[in-house]
């Protein structure tokens, strides 16, 4: 992925106490155990990437710690709430109001305009009158460069534009933590760079971000890289905050080489 960031980013948010704490998380499907007792903390304001070979349990971990799926054993605390103690309705409400989700495949409704797709989670949450939700949605769409598509449907936008709409939808309820499962995986390098620009800016504004990726260039944008193998965290790389400086392309390239060298030296 080639960096294209040229705009001035907002001041970096201070990384604080853990917003997510997972302890002893396991996940089994029948006789097959995918996660083998994962411990993971994510600090508020942190940007974390999860990498690992195919079948290592990356997406399974993401789903288990975000409440999208229940761990077989272990505990997961998000923003002071223990997920494993919640019933289905309570868990759904927490995901709707405290968390945002961006996936590789953009799940937008064909019968709604792009604006209505963004507004839908807030409408379901009943967080504000419709006029206020429309205003908030349009502001998000303008901020991410798709404001001109608000009244269009999904057939009238590119994959990169639809992923931006998906990010707006994930942010409409002002979540404290944003989860991404290969959010750039289906995009070309230019669109992927633009999506990472947006996620970096959101993180700089204080939104905690945790995403699964296979791309070292994506991981290079994050504060910390967590590497999974055979359902366990086997190594971490602390990269520090991504500060583009005068030459963002060169800085991203330097960090990408650091990630690639770290993976190669550990034979990961």
- Examine residue 117 and state whether it is found in any structural domain, yes or no: yes
Reported residue count of the chain is 268
pLDDT reported for residue 117: 96
Per-residue pLDDT tens over the stretch 143-152: 999 999 999 9
Residue 12 lies in a domain: no
Q: At 236, is the secondary structure helix, strand, or coil? A: strand
Query: The pTM is what?
Result: 0.89
In a domain, 5, yes or no: no
The answer as to whether 252 is a domain residue is yes
Give the residue numbers spanning the domain of 45.
19-265
pLDDT 10s digits, 209-236? 999 999 999 999 999 999 999 999 999 9
Q: Look up the CATH number of the domain holding residue 242.
A: 3.40.50.300
Looking at the domain assignment, is residue 230 inside a domain?
yes
Number of separate domains in the chain: 1
Cα distances from 79 to residues 49, 76, 124, in angstroms, run 19, 10, 21
Residue 131 included in any domain: yes
Residue 163 lies in a domain: yes
Asked if residues 71 and 27 have their Cβ atoms less than 8 Å apart, the reply is yes
Residue 191 resides in a domain: yes
């Amino acid at each position: 992925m080639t960096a294209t960031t040229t705009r001035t980013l907002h001041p970096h948010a201070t990384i604080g106490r853990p917003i997510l704490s997972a302890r002893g998380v396991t996940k089994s499907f029948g006789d097959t155990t995918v996660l083998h007792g994962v411990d993971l903390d994510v600090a508020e304001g942190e940007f974390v990437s999860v990498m690992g070979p195919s079948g290592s349990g990356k997406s399974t971990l993401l789903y288990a710690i975000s409440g999208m799926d229940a761990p077989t054993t272990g505990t997961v605390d998000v923003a002071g709430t223990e997920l494993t103690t919640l019933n289905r309705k309570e868990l759904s409400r927490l995901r709707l109001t405290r968390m945002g989700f961006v996936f590789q495949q953009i799940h937008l409704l064909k019968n709604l305009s792009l604006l209505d797709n963004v507004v839908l989670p807030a409408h379901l949450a009943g967080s504000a009158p419709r006029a206020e939700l429309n205003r908030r949605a349009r502001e998000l769409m303008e901020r991410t460069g798709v404001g001109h598509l608000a009244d269009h449907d999904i057939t009238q936008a590119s994959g990169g534009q639809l992923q931006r709409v998906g990010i707006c939808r994930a942010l409409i309820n002002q979540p404290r933590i944003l989860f991404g499962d290969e959010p750039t995986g289906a995009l070309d390098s230019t669109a992927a760079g633009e999506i990472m620009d947006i996620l970096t800016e959101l993180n700089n504004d204080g939104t905690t971000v945790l995403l699964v990726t296979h791309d070292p260039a994506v991981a290079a944008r994050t504060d910390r890289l967590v590497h999974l193998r055979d359902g366990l965290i086997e190594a971490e790389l602390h990269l520090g905050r991504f500060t583009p400086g005068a030459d963002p392309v060169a800085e991203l390239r330097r960090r990408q080489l650091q990630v690639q060298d770290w993976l190669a030296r550990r034979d990961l």
